[in-house]
A and B are shown apart, each in its own frame.
Chain A
Amino acid sequence: MTHPRPNSKNESGVALALTLILMALIVIVVIAYLSNTRIDRATSVTYSARLRAQTIAESGLAAAIHLLRDNTRYGNYVTAMPPTSVANRYTELYRPHDPADTAHGVMVNDFLTLSNASGEFLISRASPTPAAPPIPQVDPRPTPEVVTTPTTAIALTPLGLTAADSYDFNQIFRMGTSATGRLVNPDGLPAYGQWIRVRNNSGELIGRYAFFIEDESMKVNVNSSGNNLALPSPTASPNLRVNDAAPVPATTPATQIQEIDPTAVLLAANRRAANTSLVALGNPNARLSTKLTMALLSNWTSIENYAHLLTVFSKDDNTTAKGWQRLDLNKIVADAEAIGTNAAKVTAATRIADWIRDAWTGPTVLSTLQYSQLFNDSRLRLQIAANIVDYIDQDNVPTDMGDVVPDGYTNTAPVIGIEKIPYLVAVEVIYQASNSTCPSPPVPGTYSATLKMKLQFRFLNLFDSALDPLDSIGKIEVKGVPVVTKNGPLTPPFDFEAETFTVTLADLKPVTGTGSCSTAGACIVPAGIDGTSDSGAKTVQTDWLKTQSATFTVSTSDQNPKFQAGQLTVKVFGKTGERLDETSIALNGNSTGYTGPNSTKDFLTDATPTNGSLQIASINLVYGTSFETGDPRFRGPLVNERWRNINRTDASLPLTTNRISLYIDKAELNPRASGMDWYDESGDRPLAYIRNGAMLNIGELGHISSAEYPWRTLYLQHPERPANTSQTGPKDDVPLRRSQSQDYVLVDLFRAGGTVSRSGALNINTQQQFLQPSATTATLPLHSLLLGIPVGATAPTILTQAAPAAAASPADRVSTGVNLLVTSTTIAQNSGTGTTPQNYRIASVSNKRNPLAGEATTPDNNPNRPFFQVGDLAPTLSRLISASEASDTSASSSRSKVVYSALRTNPQSTTTNQNYRKDFQVEQLFREVSNSITTRGNVFRVLYVGQTIKDIPGPGPTPNGQVDSQREIISEYLGEALIERQAVFAPEATNPDGIKTSDSVYKILANRVITE
């Protein structure tokens, strides 16, 4: 029996189907596998390109650091920004070049001058002679631009970069909710870095990089600046500039940098809230943990408009233009005070004097080395150093450097510092005759009379508070009182020339007043009163020191009595015998007279019992050069140069009719009229200033008496400032000294406390600008940062004579009611209307320092240039103060008020506050910023980009080594890094205090990707 078989035909179809399905699955799997493999491969290529772009970009970062190292490692560079008129953004760097290394050599231990300047763009630059493929990559660093014999300007010629060969780093990027921020500047001008091509070993173009470097010191450091010490008000900033003579508020910020107002860059409506928010973040230097200003995003509105003005990490070294650590004056003096002896102070002053000699960073080769260029004279260096020590120390005892032989002289002169003590300005030896037996009228014969002699002194108070001689003076020694003769010696001679008269305060009595000067308050020398030119003096005298009868002869050719020629020596000693002052007065030998300005009449013959006692006096006054000036601080190279014996001798009663009684308790008007700097206007009575404490800022050097010329303090002012006197002598002397002064260099050599490396100092070469939304005219933040003027809702108005500003700025820190706006710090001297202002650049020699006689070119000041040293700013700011005081708009920039605002008593007025014509005020602005400015920063912001390139054929058949289209850019990496130069300091052999920047290391503080 058989069973029927299933339908075998149907079974074979299933197998086929299964086979097909399996095959399909296999195909799918294979396809999927192949597809996946292809995707992975593509992903890998992209990833590789991105990595390569980052690597290439980081090559750019390394190149940027290399560029910085090439130029900054010795610390003797300045950074600057070009005038705002250039078409694109970049930062300049200048440094002295080593002629032995024309490629990249920096002259070590030298400082920047126009004669040795090399300049460098802080951007990537392709080699001017790029290698053609397939030659491997060559050193892309271009040779620095050597500035040769500049005549009009020192500036790098813009490279003319275009988008075709450069990367524009001023990219738009998102900041918080804003999508309009830019990486470099909101104005949108390009910030090019030139592409550097990267090739493989075969010479094929595989990528390119570029970088762009900013010096963070060009911006306001919101981490360091600003404080909250001022009283709040609806419009006030909490960041008041401190007037160092009268600090307000009483609690001063710890550093002057904190007085920079970081919110001044904001619109007025935002400032107070932003200030509050900023200060609330923490103490200076510890406010923001981030290295980026993004942390301000929630506290500052419209941050995209201000980001380019701000930083949180700027630093600079407190070093000289040579890269030496600045000498800390406060520390040197404090160390000497801790020892407390004159010897210690002498050591300190000697160190300062030697430092001026060795660390000098100003011109030394001038066609005419002038005595008044203080660095050039050893005695003046010692005198200034002693004055600095005494300005700072608190003992109020002058530093006695001993007697030194001035350069070129054979006789010694005392070098004694200047303290806040009353100084002698007049010594009068008064002679009285009585009981003369001579008949009236006189007939030839021999007669007798009683003669007496006493001393009278006048003290001057140069300072701002009353001074009691009891607090500082122990005794006065006088030797060499003149011998009285008449037709030959008297018999016995009235001759006490060889006797030393020692006068204690108990021996002295006020001419007006009671008691002796040994009683507190009896002989107080009052402070001067502004507006009362003869204020601030006190006259005291001894009792009669000598009384003697003598006979004299009346001849047929009779002569009035004479004072023999001789030398009057006056020494003032302190309470413990220390020398406070010493001078000698050459007595020429004068005919005497007791009455009238011509000193007529014979006091010996006329002092009959009927006529009563009659007096004459040898009158000796402080003077300088060839006229009385009244400045007891003047110290010439000859000891008898400080005082002068005047010819007039009338001194008899009644008072008010004789020479000496006219000036009882009065500073003499005529000498004040010759006071040049301080006594600009009749009636002025300005004051000297000695802190007797640590300097608040290095600009206080301007308070230091130079002692070289009467009333001359160290000049931190514009050299073309005219003399304010028509007095023969000063009217020529003062402009000469101002024009050839090198005093500003001292600011570069020293610091007033602080640390070697500091945060937040502002680079005065910055050209960072603020362009308000929809505005067409950019304003400069230095308005705010140096002058304390906010960037307001409207652009600052350039004042003109015809249209002064309508209202003073509410944030003006100079003085209430004084309007100070500026768009230019300099102006060509002969360009009275200021048609070509140079923004924050020194314009010409005439604006900086006038050439000396025979000086065809002035090596440091002739062409426009960046500020090389911080002291360069002093004349610029002083010019702002005083340049606008006259109605003259012609040739003299010193008198033009067209470009510079008027420092008028009323902005609408044409009158000026005369006080601003005086040294003290004219240098005030510089003092207020002197500790918070720099010309170089240590921290650099590097924007760097790298691109991976596939050099595809086209337009020709083969790769051409160029990037012809976006298709060739495979990937891109844009990064930002902050690089800090950290100086390596080492002892300098020339001076024991010298510590130089021997090298630098470069540290990446922060690094981040912006886009890739």
Chain B
Amino acid sequence: MKTHTICLALLYLVSGPLAGAEPPKLLATTPALWAIGVDPSMKTLSLKFDQPLRPGFWDWFGRDVLSPHSTGHTTIDAERTTCTVDVTLQPGKTYICGLNEKGIPGVGFQNDKGASLAPTYLVFQTAGTAAPQDAPPRVKAVTPPNGATGIDPSRVKAIVIAFDQPMGVKKHGLHLFENNKPVDISKIPASYSTDGTTFTLPYNFRPATQYRLELNNNSDIGFSRATRVPLWPAQVSFTTL
């Protein structure tokens, strides 16, 4: 019995506690995340992961919003770290691959222990002239402005972002960091202007604090046009008095 226990303990130490419990992470994608000018003749998308994947499980397109035309035919290499899917692209288009978009454990890309890739958006734009409805939105202005110092928290009480196009008003993609620590703003009621071009998040800034705003990132594309073409990620930093 002792021998058995020792053996199991050794195995545990050698193999590492709960080996495989860490979910897989993306090392690289083709095209790259948020790439522009992607060759529309590209026939496949590929993902390279940091660890072997469980064969037979994938989720390329999530909720199927602006996903590229594809049969869904997926292949995986012998090392089980690189997945590829066939696609047919058009020029001037923005595509979204909502990798594991729903975030359901055990669904989509996952490792042998069933730990899934965190929801990730592979967004890219193909080369070519985009039709007006396919053009990504841009940020026109942010308040407080990027790089500002000495923002008076007693006077500035909101984050305001102006876009060049009407946005989908049901979501946003803002992430706020105070002194590099994330702030949960999910409970704060945000709003868009009637025309959908201005986003406002009321917020009580703390004095003498460094703030950073992330507008969309690899796992959140809440800032999107009504056509669902997302804002390319942007960051804004400022400091309060």
Bound-state CA distance A358–B8 (Å) is 14
Q: Which of B1-20 contact A (CB under 8 A)?
A: 1, 3-4, 7-8, 11, 15, 18-20
Q: Could you say which of A408, A562, A566 contacts B19, with CB atoms under 8 Å apart?
A: A408
Interface size range on A against B: 35 or more
Q: How far is the CB of B99 from chain A (nearest CB, A)?
A: 10
Q: Which of B163-212 contact A (CB under 8 A)?
A: none
Q: Are A566 and B102 in contact (CB under 8 A)?
A: yes
Q: Could you say which of B4, B74, B88, B104 contacts A360, with CB atoms under 8 Å apart?
A: B4
Known contacts A365-B3, A626-B55; A562/B107 CB under 8 A: no
Q: Which of A364-417 contact B (CB under 8 A)?
A: 364-365, 369, 376, 408-411
Q: Could you say which of B65, B69, B93 contacts A559, with CB atoms under 8 Å apart?
A: B69
Q: Are B62 and A564 in contact (CB under 8 A)?
A: yes
Q: Which of B66, B100, B108, B115 has the most CB of A within 10 A?
A: B108
Say yes or no for A587: interface residue by CB 8 A criterion: yes
- What 0/1 readout, one digit per residue, does chain A (707-725) give for beta carbons within 8 Å of chain B? 0000000000000000000
Say yes or no for B128: interface residue by CB 8 A criterion: no
Q: Are B115 and A410 in contact (CB under 8 A)?
A: yes
Q: Could you say which of B1, B59, B65, B114 contacts A565, with CB atoms under 8 Å apart?
A: B59
Q: How far is the CB of B8 from chain A (nearest CB, A)?
A: 8
Say yes or no for A584: interface residue by CB 8 A criterion: yes
Bound-state CA distance A590–B59 (Å) is 9
Q: Which residue of A lies closest to B98 (CB)?
A: A565
Known contacts A360-B4, A408-B18; A566/B107 CB under 8 A: yes
Q: How far is the CB of A430 from chain B (nearest CB, A)?
A: 20
Count, A-B residue pairs, CB within 8 A: 109
Q: Could you say which of B4, B15, B74, B88 contacts A364, with CB atoms under 8 Å apart?
A: B4
Q: Are A557 and B104 in contact (CB under 8 A)?
A: no
Residues on the B chain within 8 Å of A365, using CB: 3-4, 7
Residues on the B chain within 8 Å of A639, using CB: 106
Q: Are A647 and B72 in contact (CB under 8 A)?
A: yes
Q: Could you say which of B69, B71, B106 contacts A411, with CB atoms under 8 Å apart?
A: B106
Q: Which of A365, A559, A587, A590 has the most CB of B within 10 A?
A: A559
Known contacts A408-B18, A489-B64; A644/B56 CB under 8 A: yes
Q: Are B108 and A565 in contact (CB under 8 A)?
A: yes
Label chain B's interface by main secondary structure.
Answer: loop
Interface size range on B against A: 35 or more
Q: Are B72 and A411 in contact (CB under 8 A)?
A: no
Known contacts A410-B21, A589-B72; A364/B7 CB under 8 A: yes
Q: Are B104 and A566 in contact (CB under 8 A)?
A: yes
Bound-state CA distance A557–B67 (Å) is 11
Q: Are B90 and A557 in contact (CB under 8 A)?
A: yes
Say yes or no for A549: interface residue by CB 8 A criterion: no
Residues on the B chain within 8 Å of A588, using CB: 56-59, 72, 74, 108
Residues on the B chain within 8 Å of A647, using CB: 72
Say yes or no for B105: interface residue by CB 8 A criterion: yes
Q: How far is the CB of B165 from chain A (nearest CB, A)?
A: 19
Q: Which residue of B lies closest to A600 (CB)?
A: B71
Say yes or no for B60: interface residue by CB 8 A criterion: yes
Q: How far is the CB of A641 from chain B (nearest CB, A)?
A: 8
Bound-state CA distance A331–B3 (Å) is 31
Residues on the B chain within 8 Å of A626, using CB: 55-56
Say yes or no for B228: interface residue by CB 8 A criterion: yes
Say yes or no for A620: interface residue by CB 8 A criterion: no
Say yes or no for B157: interface residue by CB 8 A criterion: no
Q: Could you say which of B55, B64, B88 contacts A562, with CB atoms under 8 Å apart?
A: B64
- What 0/1 readout, one digit per residue, does chain B (85-101) give for beta carbons within 8 Å of chain A? 00010100100000011
- What 0/1 readout, one digit per residue, does chain B (12-35) give for beta carbons within 8 Å of chain A? 000100111100000000000000
Bound-state CA distance A567–B101 (Å) is 13
Say yes or no for A638: interface residue by CB 8 A criterion: yes
Q: Are B106 and A590 in contact (CB under 8 A)?
A: no
- What 0/1 readout, one digit per residue, does chain B (51-87) give for beta carbons within 8 Å of chain A? 0000111111111111101111010000000000000
Say yes or no for A249: interface residue by CB 8 A criterion: no
Bound-state CA distance A902–B114 (Å) is 47
Q: Which residue of A lies closest to B104 (CB)?
A: A567
- What 0/1 readout, one digit per residue, does chain A (243-263) give for beta carbons within 8 Å of chain B? 000000000000000000000
Q: Are B108 and A586 in contact (CB under 8 A)?
A: yes
Say yes or no for B113: interface residue by CB 8 A criterion: yes
Q: Are B88 and A565 in contact (CB under 8 A)?
A: no
Q: Which residue of A lies closest to B1 (CB)?
A: A990
Say yes or no for A91: interface residue by CB 8 A criterion: no
Bound-state CA distance A730–B105 (Å) is 28
Residues on the A chain within 8 Å of B56, using CB: 588, 626, 644
Q: Are A562 and B106 in contact (CB under 8 A)?
A: no
Label chain A's interface by main secondary structure.
Answer: loop
Residues on the A chain within 8 Å of B11, using CB: 369
Known contacts A369-B7, A589-B59, A647-B72; A411/B105 CB under 8 A: yes
Say yes or no for A605: interface residue by CB 8 A criterion: no
Q: Are B114 and A411 in contact (CB under 8 A)?
A: yes
Bound-state CA distance A360–B3 (Å) is 12
Say yes or no for A330: interface residue by CB 8 A criterion: no
Bound-state CA distance A638–B11 (Å) is 21
Q: Which of B8, B19, B108, B114 has the most CB of A within 10 A?
A: B114
Q: Are A562 and B61 in contact (CB under 8 A)?
A: yes
Bound-state CA distance A647–B7 (Å) is 43
Q: How far is the CB of B194 from chain A (nearest CB, A)?
A: 23
Say yes or no for A485: interface residue by CB 8 A criterion: yes
Q: Which of B195-240 contact A (CB under 8 A)?
A: 228
Residues on the B chain within 8 Å of A170, using CB: none
Say yes or no for A535: interface residue by CB 8 A criterion: no
Q: Are A557 and B69 in contact (CB under 8 A)?
A: yes
Bound-state CA distance A621–B20 (Å) is 27
Q: Are A410 and B108 in contact (CB under 8 A)?
A: no
Bound-state CA distance A317–B20 (Å) is 46
Q: Which of B95-141 contact A (CB under 8 A)?
A: 100-102, 104-108, 113-115
Known contacts A358-B1, A410-B21; A638/B61 CB under 8 A: no
Known contacts A408-B19, A640-B114; A567/B107 CB under 8 A: yes
Q: Could you say which of B21, B60, B64 contacts A485, with CB atoms under 8 Å apart?
A: B64
Q: Which residue of B lies closest to A641 (CB)?
A: B114
Residues on the B chain within 8 Å of A485, using CB: 63-64
Q: Could you say which of A360, A410, A557 contacts B113, with CB atoms under 8 Å apart?
A: A410
Q: Could you say which of A369, A489, A557, A586 contacts B88, with CB atoms under 8 Å apart?
A: A557
Q: Are B64 and A488 in contact (CB under 8 A)?
A: yes
Residues on the B chain within 8 Å of A556, using CB: 90
Q: Are A489 and B65 in contact (CB under 8 A)?
A: yes
Q: Could you say which of A376, A488, A586, A640 contacts B228, with CB atoms under 8 Å apart?
A: A488
- What 0/1 readout, one digit per residue, does chain A (536-566) give for beta carbons within 8 Å of chain B? 0000000000000000000011110010111
Say yes or no for A227: interface residue by CB 8 A criterion: no
Bound-state CA distance A408–B14 (Å) is 13
Say yes or no for A319: interface residue by CB 8 A criterion: no
Residues on the A chain within 8 Å of B8, using CB: 369, 376
Q: Which residue of B lies closest to A593 (CB)?
A: B71
Instruction: List, sorted by A's number, 23 A–B pairs whose CB atoms are closer than 8 Å.
Output: A358-B1, A364-B3, A364-B7, A365-B3, A365-B4, A369-B8, A409-B114, A410-B18, A410-B113, A410-B115, A483-B63, A489-B65, A562-B72, A564-B62, A565-B59, A566-B104, A566-B107, A567-B106, A588-B56, A589-B61, A589-B62, A591-B71, A638-B113
Taking A562-B67, A586-B57 as given, write out 9 further A-B residue pairs in contact, using a Cβ cutoff of 8 Å, ordered by the A residue number. Answer: A364-B7, A369-B11, A408-B113, A411-B105, A565-B59, A586-B107, A588-B72, A640-B106, A640-B114
Interface residues of A (CB under 8 A from B): 358, 360, 364-365, 369, 376, 408-411, 483, 485, 487-489, 556-559, 562, 564-567, 584, 586-591, 626, 638-640, 644, 647, 990
User: Top 7 nearest A-B pairs by Cβ distance?
Assistant: A565-B59, A485-B64, A364-B4, A638-B114, A640-B106, A586-B107, A591-B72
